[in-house]
Amino acid sequence: MDGGLYEHYPQYRKYLQDAVDELLGSEISKNVIIEHSKDGSGIGAALLAAANSKYASKPLTDRHYEALELRDGGSDYSVCSVFRM
């Protein structure tokens, strides 16, 4: 998602969190933290490429929930990738 949308429209944050709650259920979704991040597009693209290559041979039903933490040049970025069980 575009960071500007998340950053400048507080109602969108609520919609996004509501969608995560609906998709994952309240028990699991409380472990998902969504934050605005500088250079999120670059980080997201890198994580998507890494996730795709790591799980390319597994069917969707074999995927699991995984939290990733990315550290870049002294700046910490917490990133969560959610894969359906």
- Res 59: pLDDT: 53
Is the same domain home to 53 and 13?
no
Mean pLDDT of the residues in the chain: 69
Residues facing 81 on adjacent strands = 66
Number of domains in the chain: 2
Going by pLDDT thresholds of 50, 70 and 90, the confidence category of residue 5 is confident
- Of 46-50, 54-58, 78-82, the poorest mean pLDDT is in 78-82
C-alpha R_g of the chain: 14
Q: Which domain holds residue 84?
A: 37-85
- What's residue 25's pLDDT? 92
Q: Encode burial over 37-75: b for 16+ CB neighbours within 10 A, e otherwise.
A: beebeebeeebeeeeeeeeeeeeeeebeeeeeeeeeeee
Phi/psi of residue 69, nearest 5 degrees: -120, 130
Pair 41, 71 in one domain:
yes
- Look at residue 73 and tell me whether its pLDDT is greater than 60: no
For 5-41, give the DSSP string.
HHHH-HHHHHHHHHHHHHHH-HHHHTT------TTHH
